[in-house]
């Protein structure tokens, strides 16, 4: 099955994601607010591109149940995940104006652009493989952090961990895995290879996204602009 094979192929990268200092600090609750707020602001931008990619997958799905799943997921990305970000930013005292003034980081722009380009130019199986890590990697990280933080009720990032370890999120991961496996079954070899590439690239961007938040990434060229 496609998902099983590609998960095995990205196992070392996935371990690097789990071991990344950002996620280690997120788990033990020591992640500083500046880095988490940076991540939340960038992630809000990412989510709007992600939800558009899901909406495009819905439009392209011939199967009505798949179309409904992608449309609902596009809604959830904005209603649930974006809502989580809004409440954290409110808690941190970041106003909407301050949020809007933060430049989109190079990595966030690259990942969002990759999803948008895939949504525009690639067939549905490749688009499904490109958005799959956004579900699966987050659920894997969220579930691991839930286990690590059991009993830490006053954990500062509990709402984030709960969102991505939630049963309904796990159910959506199973749905998109089943859809992607089904699309892979009937895909020709070139499309299957493109699916694998898209999955690996998105998983690389997942690592880079956390790394960019850890480094509070900026544009090195900004200093030369007026």
- Look at residues 78, 6, 9, 86 and name the one whose alpha carbon lies nearest to residue 46: 78
d(CA 204, CA 184): 21
* Residue closer to ligand NSP (CB basis): 2 or 169: 169
Structure tokens at 46: 């990412």
Fill in the per-residue mask, 191 to 220: x = in contact with ligand NSP (CB under 6 A), - = not in contact. ---------------x--x-----------
Nearer to ligand NSP, 140 or 192 (CB): 140
Q: How far is the CB of 142 from ligand NSP (least distance, A)?
A: 9
Cα→Cα distances 63→34, 43, 60, Å = 43, 30, 9
**Distance in angstroms (rounded) separating the CA atoms of residues 176 and 127:** 11
What is the distance between the alpha carbons of residues 38 and 5, in angstroms, rounded to a whole number?
34
Contact 188, 154 (CB under 8 A): no
Alpha helices in the chain (DSSP H): 2-9, 11-19, 21-28, 33-60, 64-76, 82-91, 96-101, 106-121, 124-148, 158-165, 167-186, 189-214
Interface stretch with ligand NSP, choices 42-50, 52-60, 64-72, 142-150 (CB under 6 A): 42-50
Q: Is 169 in the site for ligand NSP (CB under 6 A)?
A: no
Q: Which is nearer to ligand NSP, 50 or 199 (CB)?
A: 50
Backbone angles phi and psi of 111, in degrees to 5:
-65, -45
According to CB under 6 A, which residues from 96 to 135 bind ligand NSP? 134
Q: Rule CB under 6 A: is residue 74 a binding residue for ligand NSP?
A: no
- In this complex, which beta carbon is closest to ligand NSP, that of residue 2 or of residue 164? 164
Name which of 56 and 187 has its Cβ closer to ligand NSP. 56
Say whether residue 43 binds ligand NSP (CB under 6 A): yes
What token pair was written down for 5? 């094979």
- Specify the residue, 2 or 111, whose C-beta has the smaller distance to ligand NSP: 111
3-state secondary structure of 76: helix
Smallest distance, Å, CB 30 to ligand NSP?
21
Q: Considering the complex, state which of residue 206 and residue 217 has its C-beta at the smaller distance from ligand NSP.
A: 206
36 makes contact with ligand NSP (CB under 6 A): no
Site for ligand NSP in 132-151 (CB under 6 A): 134, 138
Q: Which parts of this chain interact with ligand NSP (CB under 6 A)?
A: 43, 46-47, 50, 81, 134, 138, 206, 209
């Amino acid at each position: 099955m496609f998902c099983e094979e590609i998960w095995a192929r990205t196992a070392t990268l996935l371990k690097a994601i789990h071991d990344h200092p950002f996620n280690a600090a997120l788990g033990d609750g020591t992640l500083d607010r500046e880095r988490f707020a940076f991540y939340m602001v960038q992630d809000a931008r990412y989510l709007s591109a992600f939800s558009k990619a899901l909406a495009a997958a819905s439009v392209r799905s011939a199967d009505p149940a798949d179309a409904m799943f992608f449309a609902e997921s596009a809604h959830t990305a904005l209603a649930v995940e974006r809502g989580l970000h809004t409440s954290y930013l409110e808690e941190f005292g970041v106003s909407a104006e301050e949020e809007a003034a933060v430049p989109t980081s190079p990595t966030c722009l690259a990942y969002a652009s990759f999803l948008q380009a895939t949504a525009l130019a690639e067939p549905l199986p490749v688009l499904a493989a490109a958005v799959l890590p956004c579900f699966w990697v987050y659920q894997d990280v969220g579930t691991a952090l839930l286990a690590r933080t059991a009993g830490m009720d006053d954990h500062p990032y509990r709402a984030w961990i709960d969102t991505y370890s939630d049963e309904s999120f796990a159910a959506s991961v199973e749905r998109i895995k089943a859809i992607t496996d089904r699309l892979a079954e009937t895909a020709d070899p070139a499309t299957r290879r493109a699916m694998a590439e898209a999955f690996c690239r998105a998983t690389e961007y997942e690592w880079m996204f956390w790394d960019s938040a850890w480094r509070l990434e900026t544009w090195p060229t900004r200093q030369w602009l007026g």
